[in-house]
Chain A
Amino acid sequence: DIVMTQTPSSQAVSAGEKVTLSCKSSQSLLSSANKHNYLAWYQQKPGQSPKLLISWASTRESGVPDRFVGSGSGTDFTLTISSVQAEDLAVYYCEQYYDTPYTFGAGTKLELK
């Protein structure tokens, strides 16, 4: 199985701050056939279902604010929130869909400083 490792496990932030979340996979998620990285980012707020923010490592879903930016390739990926808002406080998960079983990272919890 592909192991997804997210760091940090939690991060305290202030509104307006830039934050970078890391996700590393135990094997490359880059397809040689189509040059796509099979990685998604989700946001989960307390009591809610996860929400897909970014797919293919860097493609924002419709309606997701442009302060959320996904980047990276191969085994190293990053989710950057350029200016954190109060409504962004949540747990963020990365997930690989390169191969089954699909696997998630343990999550990064964004908390208020």
Chain B
Amino acid sequence: QVQLKETGPDLVQLTQTLSITCTVSRFSLTAFNVHWVRQPPGKGLEWMGAMWTGGGTDYNSAFKSRLTINRDTSKSQVFLQMNSLQTDDTAKYFCARSRGSYEGFDYWGQGVLVTVSS
């Protein structure tokens, strides 16, 4: 069945760069969009950005220029990279799929909890 799986570090040092990989299966990155959503412990959901089917990206301006999303369609992987991490970037990071450019997220990964440590 459709799956998304995030892999990344549990711990990142303050001001360093976070890199997370979302590996998808049973669907093509050229047919479905993949988004990144994060959730600080005990708090709500925040959309970070998207990799569209055509290879373009869209970012939440809240992350200014810290965030980059890329993909490797041959490996069915989407990558999140965010630099200059602060303690309030501590969160569970999810990748999720949408069926269209403007649709809800029908499949989610299990998420990876990243702690930013000083």
Contacts and interface: CB of A to CB of B under 8 A. Distances in A.
B104 to A, nearest CB: 3
A102 B108 CA distance: 16
B106 A61 contact: yes
B88 interface: no
Interface residues of B, number: 22
A97 B102 CA distance: 6
Interface string B22-63: 000000000000010000000011110010000000101110
B105 A52 contact: yes
Given A50-B105, A101-B62, A93 B45 contact: yes
Interface residues of A, number: 21
Interface centre among A98, A101, A103 (most CB of B within 10 A): A101
Contacts of B61: 101
B110 A49 contact: yes
Interface string A13-28: 0000000000000000
B78 to A, nearest CB: 16
B50 A100 contact: yes
Given A50-B45, A104-B45, A40 B104 contact: yes
B108 A49 contact: yes
Interface centre among B45, B104, B105, B106 (most CB of A within 10 A): B104
Contacts of A106: 44
Interface in B59-118: 60-62, 94, 96, 98, 102-106, 108-111
Contacts of B105: 40, 42, 50, 52, 95
B55 to A, nearest CB: 17
B25 to A, nearest CB: 16
Given A40-B104, A49-B94, A95 B45 contact: yes
Interface of A: 38, 40, 42, 49-52, 55, 61, 93, 95, 97-98, 100-107
Given A101-B61, A102-B47, 15 more contacts: A42-B45, A42-B104, A42-B105, A50-B96, A50-B108, A51-B108, A52-B105, A52-B106, A55-B104, A93-B44, A95-B45, A97-B103, A98-B102, A100-B60, A101-B62
